[in-house]
Each structure stands twice: as C-alpha cells, then as structure tokens.
Homo-oligomer: A and B are copies of this chain.
C-alpha cells in the first residue's frame, strides 16, 4: 500500500512538492552549518532562511535532531556509493588489503567531518544514529578475501568496526561545549588503522 502515504484528497503534486521542500531544507541546513556550525541551526532559523513555514520543517523532519539525521543519511549514502562503485582502492578492483586500508582512512575522515552533525542528530530516543552495519560487512568480506580465516574472526571484525567508529564515539561522549577533534587526528587514526590491518594480515 505505497499510496497510503498520500492522504485522500491531496493534490497530485503534493509528493513532488514535499520532496522539493525536503531538498531545499537540507541544502539550506548545509549552508547554515558551513557558515556558523551545527549548534546555530534551529528549526525557526532554517524555516526563515528557506522561505518556508515552520510547520513544513516540522512535517519533513519531526525535530531538530531529525534534520541532522537526514543530512547524515544523505551523506552516508554518498559515501557507500563511493565504496560500492567508485574508483579503487576505495572502490572495487584493488587488492583487498589495500581496500581495507583505504576504507579505514576514508571512513575515519568521513566520521571526523561529520562529528558536529552526528552529535546534533542525537536525541533521547535515538542515541546513536550512524549504523555500523555496512562497515562490519565490508571489513568481514575484505578480511576473508585477504585470507584471514581464524576462529576469532567474528570478534575481530566487531572490534575493527568499533575501532573505525572511534572518532564518532569520542564525539558522542563529549558534551556539546567540547571542541571537535582536530583534523590531523584523521591522519593519526588512519596510521593506527593501517598498522592494525598490516599486523592482522601478515
């Protein structure tokens, strides 16, 4: 019953309008974050700048945290597309160990770039919005292709997944007034990741 999301009597164009409003609101939120940081984005400010009513923002996202979850979801999808069909070594075609190293470095960078948004996407009912499922699956497949077949593999994969989510964990544990991690933390964590992987597959 896919049509049940459009209540009876609404104009045919409603869903296209809704999608356009959603894209406009996300683009506007990105501008506001780039200019003043995530903490300054409010539902009122977003509605005003996008030239829409506050009711529209509320219907699209439900809450302030919902805006940030939608931004995170959209960027997450783009990231996964680069992994599934982008150029190697992040995308397919490279040696599995090189792909694991590239994935870790890219993922750490992604999470560090999204610390603010991830922090702002928290609310009482959904404490951590980023799903680690795709990382878990990707790491397991690539370790298998790299010939790492050990009894402890499942624990190792969960721990490597958690290792990649470390920047996020740090960001989520901090209170809002703790400054985000420095960008060169990405290199430090990337080097750590590469060292772990090289030790594992040796």
* Bitwise interface map of A from 131 to 155 toward B, beta carbon under 8 Å scored 1, else 0: 1100000000000000000111111
Query: Is residue A70 within 8 Å, beta carbon to beta carbon, of the partner chain?
Result: no
- Cβ B159 vs Cβ A169 within 8 A: no
| B124 x A195 contact (CB < 8 A) | no
| A115 at the B interface (CB under 8 A) | no
Residue A126 at the chain B interface, CB threshold 8 Å: yes
* Copies of this chain held together in the complex: 2
Does A155 contact B188, Cβ atoms closer than 8 Å?
A: yes
Hey, which chain B residues are within 8 Å of A163, CB to CB? 159-160, 162-163
Report A161 CB to chain B, min CB distance, Å: 7
Residue A127 at the chain B interface, CB threshold 8 Å? yes
A196 in complex: contacting residue of B128, B189, B200, CB < 8 Å: B200
What is the distance, in angstroms, from A184's C-beta to the closest C-beta of chain B?
11
